[in-house]
Amino acid sequence: MFFILLFVSIISFLTARQFLKAKRLPPGPFSLPLIGNAHQVGYQLWRTGGVTNMLNHFRKEYGDIFTLWLGPIPHVNITNYELSHEVFVKNSTKYADKHVSPMIDYVRKGNGVFFSNGDKWQELRRFSMLTMRNMGMGRDLMEEKILSELDARCAEINEKSIDGTTVLQVNEFFDLTVGSIINNMLLGFRFDERTKSRFLTMKHMFDEGMDKMTPLFFTLPVWALQKFLAKDFNSIIKDQFEIIDYVSVDAIKRSRDFMNGDYEIDPNNVEDIVDAFLLKMKQNPKSDVYDENNLKMLITDLWITGQETTTTTLVSAFIQFLNNPQVMDTVQKELIKVTNGGSRQLSLRDKTETPYLNATIAEVQRHASILNINFWRINNEPTVIGGHPVDSGCLIASQLSALHTNEKIFENPEKFNPERFIRNENLMQQTIPFGIGKRSCLGESLARAELYLIIGNLLLRYNFESSGKMPSTRETVPFGFAKRCEAFDMKVTKI
């Protein structure tokens, strides 16, 4: 009897404490001690068929800001633009620290720019943005590099064509195009026939790892992953280290050659990010920021974020074009008019003259919304968001996948409809695929330039049709951490 009373007392105490904690947070489903809302989240994932649908279920029930407890930790989810702006722009300093999951810390040890905090993050972000700006990001030089790579890839298409038509493996084409642009910026070389096989092997390994990653891997402690999800955990960790080694092998070799005097850098003519970082290492020999560990992770961060998000968005764009040929036709007519009958290439200077292309790219990004679950920030002090108390110690994120499918903002959100952005220009501001605030994507200007120039100039040069089965607009791993597109071929005919 004593043990029964003790058990009941403990459960009652934990439940009461949980209830009091929940009162200091935005609304959400009733949570249990220890497991939180894990059972409800799991059920809604199964019932609705995916992470985004699960988030939208709770949004519709509890509002645009709601709390889900994953184990003993409350996670506050924001699903509209105004609240996201209030938190991550107006109060950007307060929410600048990113939550680093145990699995990520196991691999990265606090290095790199994407999952670091404090002075290290600020210095590496400052270095990255300044270096990319000096290399021409957002200026004519960056446009020239993007178009040069696109010209090279289009030349390969034309060489393989018969009577002006060829079949293109879409995912591989955009992987190589975007991969070469980012690799040229990082290391000064593109992927050609000699080097592309190694790159595509690594990219396939990365894709497989992404398919295995569910939000659980960013929540559970390492010991739990090793015990209950050992096979997938060990596979993901192995792939992560191999990807880091692959991406950084040339940078590390160059670093050691530079330190040994076998590689020279002209400080007045720095050609890529690795060279810029090596100069910083030489200037700051005792720095814990400018060292080889951070070089490896910084290159990996910039490569993965620059490669994966843009490639996935481009693949998504052409899936939508094949499924909505009237949109593709309207874009092409606009581009032909702007470029004097297609007599010249599309330039970034043409942006003000291409409202329909701009709207189409925004709609592609809204649908693509790469992350099903966004990365969490740490709330270090009690505050108020949207009229709701938010206690210290919780995690908070703007869930872009749910924000971009919020029917109160985007009418009929499942429909691909660029005209919505022309009818209501305010929707452009509320579409935030790169995030907002201090931790928004530092390669945003490069990515926007790539999307505009690659999509626009491909539609100027070719007509596109499906080859075989029409690719689906549905994501292939709806329960995963990030959205994935199916691999497909399309028929390309020169105009």
CB atoms within 10 A of CB 160: 12
Q: Pairing relation of β-strands 383-385 and 388-390?
A: antiparallel
The answer to whether 207 and 331 have CB atoms below 8 angstroms apart is no
SS3 for 380? coil
CA 327/CA 64 separation, integer angstroms: 31
* CA 117 distance to own-chain centroid: 19
The answer to whether 410 and 79 have CB atoms below 8 angstroms apart is no
CA 332/CA 337 separation, integer angstroms: 9
The answer to whether 137 and 441 have CB atoms below 8 angstroms apart is no
Token pair of 177, please? 């195009």
Helix, strand, coil percent values for the chain (each to nearest 5)? 55, 10, 35
291's enclosing H/E stretch is none
Q: What is the DSSP secondary-structure string of 62-79?
A: H-SEEEEEETTEEEEEE-
397's enclosing H/E stretch is strand 395-398
The answer to whether 484 and 207 have CB atoms below 8 angstroms apart is yes
Q: Would the annotation count 441 as a binding residue?
A: yes
In sequence order, what are the residues at sequence separation of 6 or more whose Cβ sits closer than 8 angstroms to the Cβ of residue 275?
188, 254, 265
- Phi-psi domain of 387 (left: phi exceeds 0; alpha: psi -120 through 50; beta: other): left
119's enclosing H/E stretch is helix 118-134
The answer to whether 149 and 181 have CB atoms below 8 angstroms apart is yes
Residue ranges with strand state E in 91-175: 165-169
SS3 for 168? strand
The answer to whether 461 and 447 have CB atoms below 8 angstroms apart is no
Residues that constitute the known binding site for heme: 441
* Binding site feature residues: 441
